[in-house]
Amino acid sequence: MPANERALIDAAALRQWEQQAALAGLDLMARAGAAIAQWLHRHYPPPRRLLFAAGTGNNGGDALIAARLLLADYEVGVWQPLPPVTAAAQAARRQYLAAGGRLDRTLAALPPAEVLIDGLFGAGLNRPLDAGWQAHLAALDALPCPRVALDVPSGLDAWNGCVQGAALPADHTLALLCHKPGLFTADGRDYSGRVELLPLDCPPTLVPPPQGELLAANLAPLRRRHNSNKGSFGCVSIIGGCAGMGGAALLAGRAALALGAGKVRIHSLDARLALDPLWPELMIAPLGSSSLAADEVVAIGPGLGQSPQAHRILAGVLAHPGALLLDADALNLLAGDDALQQQLRQRTRPAVITPHPAEAARLLACSTVSVQQDRLAAVRSLAAKLGVIAVLKGAGSLVCGPDGYYRLCTAGNAALASAGQGDILSGSIAALLAQGQDETTAAGNAVWLHASAGDRYLADAGGPIGLRASSTLPLMQQLLNRQLAGSDHDHSHRKPPF
């Protein structure tokens, strides 16, 4: 996907973009209607019965123009319970009726649909739907046919991905002009189906600077020279694993090895953890037995606990000059201590933090519900408040730096909602940091690999249930190696040396 097709902008920038296009003489509604009609013709060839649900705003106008353009080839009906309120949508309605189109205010009056096109609400919806509209959506949801949403599934907030009282699930969503972040985070993935961008051939000079982008992997720099050794790929130290939680540290350590770190040490707070019999390559020793080298990557938090000892260790580790990742109980300790937060902000090299929504809520002194109601605002607040690269895990994981620019992962599914997956992600980020990637790149690549491994499991298993964290590692490892092999164009002609 080209970079400009990954761009994400906010609502204010989109409004300004549309205004600038109008001033330049571009009829975006006409372009949208034509693009929608072409898409429907390609994906649902005639003859078919199409039902367009048209709202009162410009989203309804887009639907009416597409409906008019398809009258010659399809049996078309338009359901519009209320008259349009914008001048452009009113004109689209007049043109549709003048062309002989059928329009009804009562859904039952229209013949059964083979495809439903949802043009009720667009990206401008910013309020909960009342009982009447919820009933309308329920009636449409009961129709036994594929649904295509125009720009945004009706009832879904385009910017935060939250359902506004009720929403109409789509099989396809045609994002108009640009992608909307709400299609991919929070409830968006459950309602948007397959998302496709219709950029409407807008001149690049009118496109505003993006505030974020859909996450794309940047794995090519991880390709390896034959002339390498373990020292070429860095050292990771995992600090955690208190009594009863040693598995978290082991999972993070295994992930760091599996994703390519040259060597991995686990500094366990439980002296009884001395060996990983399944992964004996892991070096396990108490933290006091060896110092942390300035050039090694430190990941603290998996199984750390919140004891006074853990607090002291975290305070010391925040002074580490090298790459640093904080997860799990390191974040919980941080949330309750302003002095630790100040230490974190004063680091010359930004740390990476990987909270799930509840941990993010503790760091922001708000509720988990508040975080989930606006995940983008939450991750931006975290990154700015703490001066870090923040990874907000969940549906549509987000990676954001202190400047507020964010990356949104469109991969992943509920298969990853199981214990230990966060430890796998932390160890994976640490491994990529050890191999020389910067914090933002390492975090984004690890998030993408982890999420894509979940998608591979879903495809292979036929469903999301049963993926253990330890079983995610070989999927990630295989995906990474295959991606690198596919990108190694310079050496693809060489035969193996045997």
Annotated binding site: 58-62, 118, 122-128, 151, 154, 248, 303, 356, 393-397, 422-423
**Residues contributing to the annotated binding site for K(+):** 59, 118, 154
Phi-psi region of 409 (alpha: psi -120 to 50; beta: other; left: phi over 0): beta
What is the Cα–Cα distance from 466 to 341, expressed in whole angstroms?
Answer: 37
Q: Which residue has the tokens 């941080």?
A: 334
What letter represents residue 268's amino acid?
Answer: S
What is the Cα–Cα distance from 20 to 23, expressed in whole angstroms?
Answer: 5
Phi-psi region of 10 (alpha: psi -120 to 50; beta: other; left: phi over 0): beta
Q: Are 239 and 34 in contact (CB under 8 A)?
A: no
Helix and strand numbers, DSSP H then E, in the chain: 16, 18
What letter represents residue 41's amino acid?
Answer: H
Q: What is the DSSP letter of 207?
A: P
Instruction: Report the residue count for the chain.
Output: 498
Give SS3 for 175. strand
**Residues contributing to the annotated binding site for (6S)-NADPHX:** 58-62, 122-128, 151, 248, 303, 356, 423
**Residues contributing to the annotated binding site for AMP:** 393-397, 422
Beta strands in 228-366 (DSSP E): 235-240, 263-268, 283-284, 297-300, 324-326, 352-353
Q: Which residue has the tokens 């189109």?
A: 101
How many Cβ atoms from other residues are within 10 Å of residue 498's Cβ?
Answer: 3
Long-range contacts of 271-274, Cβ-Cβ distance < 8 Å, separation of 24 or more: 272/243, 272/246, 273/241, 273/246, 273/249
